[in-house]
Amino acid sequence: MHGVETAAASTGREVEGVSRDRRTLRRRAELLLALTESDLRARYGRGGVRLFKWLLDPFALVGVYLLLVSVVLDRPGAAPGLSLACAVVPFQLLMMSVMNAMGAVDLRRSIILNMSFERSFIPASAVLTETVAFAASFLLLVLMMTVYRVSPTLAMLWFPLVVAVNILLAVALAYVSSLVGIWFSDLRLFAISFVRTLFFLAPGLVPLSLVGGRAADLLRLNPLSGVFEGYRSVLLYGTRPAAWELLVPTAFSLVLLAITLPIYVREQKQFAKVVA
Amino acid sequence: MSAAAIVAEDVGVRFYFDRLHRVTTPTLAHVRRGVTESWGLRELSVDIRGGDAVALIGRSGAGKTTLLRVIAGILIPDEGRLSVRGQLGSLLSIEAGLLSRLTGRENALLLGVLSGLSRAQARLNVDSVSERSGLDDAFDRPVSSYSQGMLARLGFAVVDQARPDILLLDEVHEALDHEFRERVQERVRELLGRGGIVVAAGHDHPLLERVCNRALLVEDGRIAADGSFDEVVHEYLARPLPDAPARAAASGSRRGRSGTRSSARRS
């Protein structure tokens, strides 16, 4: 009888544990959504003007780079506008996530100094905010596919995975950026310039197929290269992404997260001292 | 409600400063050169039970805000033990956790969720916050357009909606207008009546006296005196200023200026 009671109690505890886990998960999801919702309003305002703000940057960048590649450098390649959009759109997510995350703790200074809450979600909410803007800029990809008459193929099925890798890299960079924003606030501009440089040290302006020899091998080591080429494989070439295009950025992101996440979780306990 | 309680035993909070006297984190302190440390609180012990309304008295920089932040869970003690029992509500600055680009309504929703409510519950409560704050149409305007008093009203209404067992106030109530102060006092009496705790810091002693039945004198991060409000305030006012010897050695005209500063500080 005692054994039966123990088993029943154990099952009860397990059910209670699962229910508590679900509550915790739900609570965390709500917290993340609330932080993101407020961030979206604080950064992008309200109403239809938001869409304009989200689209302005990627459209302007593709326009400027298109001019540079086609006229100045005279290396347009195939469907240059779409090729550029395949780099600019994912890079916008990375760049904006880095910029948002670097100032995210400062932005919430008044909350951090007034109440205790799960501050580990701050960089994640910065990425989620920018992902909404990023989703809006898919319009640019569709537009470029239409302009260059590139039809979608079955390779489009890989698109969600390519986007997931892009978001994973953004999350990893966001945690590092938040720490940089707290530790070395004077170096924020330098950090932004560094990320911009990574764009040019990857096949951003021209696809990897137009870069020859050892340079192409070296560019593959840049995690941004895999992301850009992944978009091009799926949207421009109509093929499934090569393994390295997914694996290099994924491995880089996971290593970065494995290093920075524990540091961030420990450091977030000190945020109130630093931002006070 | 289970009885609210705050028990601190030898609590210490340490700050690290870099060569430019900016606060830095312990991780960077281990890497950087020329880092110095200072204790915001040290060996601080206090026992506050349900029904206590405690005023934190002391000069600026003595550690009152740090103590409130430790109780609120915003700062983690670097040494000692702290036990806080009860739902917390804190209003530790005029901005009170409000984001200037958001409206009063949007802030109320965000802070409701951060304080532990579900999003649905926070949405349900938002009209009640609007009513409690008395901000009327301004509730739907960005808080960047608010006066200090309006910020404090909104902050208090947001905290109050969560029906906290422990209310922490840091000089915020001093920004409130007369009418809203009455309302705060009413809420404090109601909270104490159901076994809650109020801890308030500030320099407006007559205002604190109306709310608090006990006071702690905080000096250099330690509790220098603990007792009834009148006793502790009397002891505080009787103490010499920390830089009194230096001033005593100074000229007559300098002494005159010090006297003015002294009375201003203890207003």
Is pLDDT at B261 greater than 50 in this prediction? no
Is pLDDT at B56 greater than 90 in this prediction? yes
Rg from Cα positions in chain B:
20
- Judged by CB atoms closer than 8 Å, whether chains meet at B27 and A263 is answered as yes
From the list B24, B28, B90, the residue facing A115 with the nearest CB is B90
Which chain B residues are within 8 Å of A265, Cβ to Cβ? none
Q: For residue B17, count CB atoms less than 10 angstroms from its CB and return exposed for 0-12, middle for 13-18, buried for 19 or more.
A: middle
What's the pTM?
Answer: 0.83
From the list A27, A33, A110, the residue facing B93 with the nearest CB is A110
> H or E stretch including A126?
helix A122-136
How far apart are the CA of B113 and the nearest CA of chain A, in angstroms? 6
Is pLDDT at B248 greater than 50 in this prediction? no
Burial letters B203-227, b for 16+ CB under 10 A, else e:
bebebbebbbebbbbbbebbbbbbe
The first and second tokens of residue B97, run together, are 């956790």
Amino acid B17: pLDDT: 92
Amino acid A64: pLDDT: 84
Beta-bridge mates of residue B23: B17
Stretch B37-62: mean pLDDT, rounded?
94
**For chain B, how many helices (H) and strands (E)?**
10, 10
Q: What are the phi and psi torsion angles at B39 (to 5°)?
A: -100, 120
User: Mean pLDDT score of chain B, rounded to an integer?
Assistant: 85
- Judged by CB atoms closer than 8 Å, whether chains meet at A112 and B114 is answered as no
| A24 touching B (Cβ < 8 Å) | no
Which chain B residues are within 8 Å of A266, Cβ to Cβ? 27
Amino acid B95: pLDDT: 75
Which chain A residues are within 8 Å of B113, Cβ to Cβ? 30-31, 34
- Judged by CB atoms closer than 8 Å, whether chains meet at B25 and A117 is answered as no
- Judged by CB atoms closer than 8 Å, whether chains meet at B25 and A112 is answered as no
In angstroms, what CA-CA distances link B9 with B44, B76, B155, B215?
Answer: 6, 13, 30, 18
ipTM of model: 0.81
Which chain A residues are within 8 Å of B30, Cβ to Cβ? none
| Closest C-alpha to A264, from B16, B25, B39 | B25
A residues 160..189 contacting B (CB < 8 A) = 182-183
Contact B44, B67 (CB under 8 A): yes
Under-70 pLDDT residues of chain A: 1-18, 74, 76
Rounded Cα distance, A92 and A55, in Å: 10
Stretch B217-221: mean pLDDT, rounded?
94
Rounded Cα distance, A137 and A126, in Å: 17
| A35 touching B (Cβ < 8 Å) | yes
Residue B241 carries which DSSP code? P
Residues B124-182: tens digit of each pLDDT: 999 999 998 888 899 999 999 998 888 888 988 998 888 899 999 988 766 777 777 88
Contact B158, B144 (CB under 8 A): no
| Closest C-alpha to B125, from B94, B159, B95 | B159
Rounded Cα distance, A163 and A140, in Å: 15
Contact B84, B246 (CB under 8 A): no
Residue B243 carries which DSSP code? T
Is pLDDT at B110 greater than 60 in this prediction? yes
Is pLDDT at B265 greater than 60 in this prediction? no
Amino acid B229: pLDDT: 93
- Judged by CB atoms closer than 8 Å, whether chains meet at B23 and A33 is answered as no
